[in-house]
Structure formats: C-alpha cells, structure tokens
Amino acid sequence: MALAGELWAELPAERRIFCSVLLFSWAVYLWEAFLAHRQRRVYRTTTHVPQELGQIMDSETFEKSRLYQLDKSTFSFWSGLYSEVEGTMILLCGGIPFLWKLSGQISGRAGFGPEYEIVQSLVFLLLATLFSAVTGLPWSLYNTFVIEEKHGFNQQTLGFFFKDAIKKFVVTQCILLPVTSLLLYIIKIGGDYFFIYAWLFTLVVSLVLVTIYADYIAPLFDKFIPLPEGELKQQIETMAKSIDFPLTKVYVVEGSKRSSHSNAYFYGFFKNKRIVLFDTLLEDYSALNKEPAEGEDGENEETKSKTKNKKQGCKNEEVLAVLGHELGHWKLGHTVKNIIISQMNSFLCFFLFAVLIGQKELFAAFGFHDTQPTLIGLMIIFQFIFSPYNEVLSFCLTVLSRRFEFQADAFAKELGKAKDLYSALIKLNKDNLGFPVSDWIFSMWHYSHPPLLERLQALKDAKQE
C-alpha cells in the first residue's frame, strides 16, 4: 500500500489527474451497475403480486410491467457498458485532441487560421455531437423498435423516426452553436470577472429557452392544439383561478403519434402560464382509444395506430387531480426553488472554472500540451473535474425532488383531490407499465418521484381523514 502511494506520488501531476478521472468514471459506473443488478434481481424474483398490491394491480398487468422493466434494465446495462467503454477508449486513444486537430484542419481549409479559436471550437462541437448521434443511433433504434415496440408503446414508423432524429439534430445545432460562440466570446473578453458575465448569459439563455420552448420549438416535433371548449377546460380554468394561477392557455399535444406514454406540464413566467396535456393522458382525447375511421390514412402513413393496445387514460376528475399536483409545485414555490438552486450551482461552477482554467496541467492531462482552448477547458472542468461534485449534487436533488412530490400530493389533497389522484396514479402506473416494487438502495439513489406505494399510502391516509 505504501509502495503504491509512493509510485502514485512520483507520477507527473497530469498523469495523476488523468488516472483519477478515469478511475472515478469507472467507480461511478460500477456503483450504477451494482444498483441496477439489485433492481434486476427484484424484477426476476418478484413474479407474483405482493399482498399489499392486491387491490391496486391485477396479475396480468403486474407481469407485463415486470417483463417491460426487466427488458429496459437489461438494455440499460449493455448500453451503459458500451458508453463507458467508448468514453474510456476516447480518453486513452487521445480522441479529444485528435478531434480538435481535425477541427483545426477543417476550419483552416475554410480560411480560418489558428487565431479563429471560436470557429474551430464550433467545428469541434459539430463533429463531437455528430459522432455522438451516429454512435447512439443503433441503441436508440433498438430501444424504440424492439423494446418499446415489443411492449406496445412505440407508435413510430422507421421513416418518422429518422425524420424526427434529423430534425432534432438540426434544431439542436441551431441553438447550440450560436449560444456556444457567444459564451466563448464572453469568456474571452470578460476579463477577471468573466465568470459573472458568463453566468448571467447562461441564465438569460435558459430563461429564454424555457419561455419559447413550448411555443416555437416543441411544435416543430409535435402538433399542439388548444383544448376544446367544454367541461374539462372550464374545470381547469376554475381550479387555476381558485389558487391564483395566471393561466392563459391550455393545449393538448399529440404525443400518441410517437409513444403511448403520457405526461402533463406547465410553462411560462409571470402572468403568462400555459398548461400542456398529452392526449394519451386524456381518456376522451387519446387517439389510442379510438378506432380509425374507415379508409382513413394521412397520419397513419407516418404513425401506427395500435388500437389493440388501448390505453385507459384518465377521466376528467383524475386529470384535474393530476393538474392539482402539478399546480402544487407552482403554488409551493418548487419551480422557483429549483431555478434558484440551478443558478447558484451554475454560478459556483463558473467561479471554480475561472479559478482552474489557468492550470496547464489540466489541459496536459488530456493531451493538450501546447494550447489551452477555452471550449476544451469547459469540457475538462465541467465534465471531468466536477464529476464527483456532480454525483453528490445529483443525489441531493433527487432527495429534494421526492420531498417536493410528497408536498405536491398533499397540496392536491387540500384541493379535495386525494381520491381522484389516488386512482389517477394507479391508472398512469398501469398505462406506463411502471413496476411498483423496487430495491430500496436503487430507489433512494435514482427515483426523483417516491415509489407508487408510498404515494398511495399518503393519499390513503388523507382519504381516511
């Protein structure tokens, strides 16, 4: 042990940094693999509905959810192993400096010399994201057309999938490249206090993206329609008014054309809030609950209507209960608290980045001996050096998220929605084939939402009160 310590101390600083990053990466992977193994054991051994779930879940749904989650867990194991091996090989083989050099050659042929670092950085970013998209494509195809298809969730055709993937890549580049170029420029000209300006810039960008996402970005991929006038819309507006939620619009998004999973969310700032409901959440609106009209085509050329796997969805009262939970996050200040935590973390990271960016050993550790590009510095420090801190922060945020979920459930209870939320959670768990039994360590580390049984017990107590 002492000899190993002496050998470690004799290594150059850059080698110690590199080895530490690699060892920590594998330590995290092995920890995650250990947790996943424990959860897979639960999937394999829990083959009968536990007694406490007898009134909640029938044996057929229980078995379907068990097999679905087992397939997902096995897929996650192999994709995670590939990702870890790929990342290790990129580091060991000098993939990052190689890609930087290639980016310089490409930008040089376009007439931009080494002094145009931002241009070279954008080429690097484009190539890196393209590489990631290509290597991740087989895994995405398998997940969508094997696992999700097998368990009745996939609604996409191959053509729709590729068109969607290309569109996502293009839209991502249209946002990522200009934002990155401006961030690098701010860091370059910001002087000693550049970290303050960089943080303010990312704050503004994040607020703008949150504001415009559902109005301008999401409609590029899914069709948003206003919720038709009727009882449900009137009840939503009444509930929003009762808690002073400044609701301006309610949309239904056609999520059923790509997946039968369901969701709901709200967005917007100040007095301009909107609610978005997935059609798969609504029993009366989901295309999966409707038989296609005779001779009907059009959308069916790009999406597959699988009426044999009808999703139950939620009744109006249950939809209101789900929204009562979501609006609870707003009323209790969870959204603002999460934004504050996120921005405090962002400011701290930029400050530490300003402290560390001058350390040449960090660049040398990853093969950059003669140059210290700002984009590479951001990648090294935020992705590698901060990784232990990021793991701890992620766990703390997971614990906080579970606390917020219980509070939002309690808020829905105060609105008189405990009974309807109870039944809605059971239906949503059934529709999404969620498995209600989990390993306690896996659950503690990963679940941002409390396990179903814990939420139902809290709501059951509320109903009995």
Query: Which residues are part of the catalytic machinery?
Result: 326
Handedness of CA 364, 366, 369, 375 (dihedral sign): negative
Nearest to 328 by CA among 204, 414, 445, 218: 414
**Tokens describing residue 449:** 């939402």
Rounded Cα distance between 201 and 19, Å, is 34
3-state secondary structure (DSSP) of residue 446: helix
DSSP 115: T
Query: Any residues with CB less than 8 A from the CB of 301 and at least 6 apart, and which?
Result: 157
Q: Residue 465: is it exposed, middle or buried by C-beta count within 10 angstroms (0-12/13-18/19+)?
A: exposed
CA distances 240 to 3, 164, 215, Å, are: 67, 34, 21
Q: Are strands 264-267 and 247-253 parallel, antiparallel or unpaired?
A: unpaired
**Strands annotated E in 355-456:** none
Strand order through the sheet with 224-226: 224-226, 247-253, 273-278, 264-267
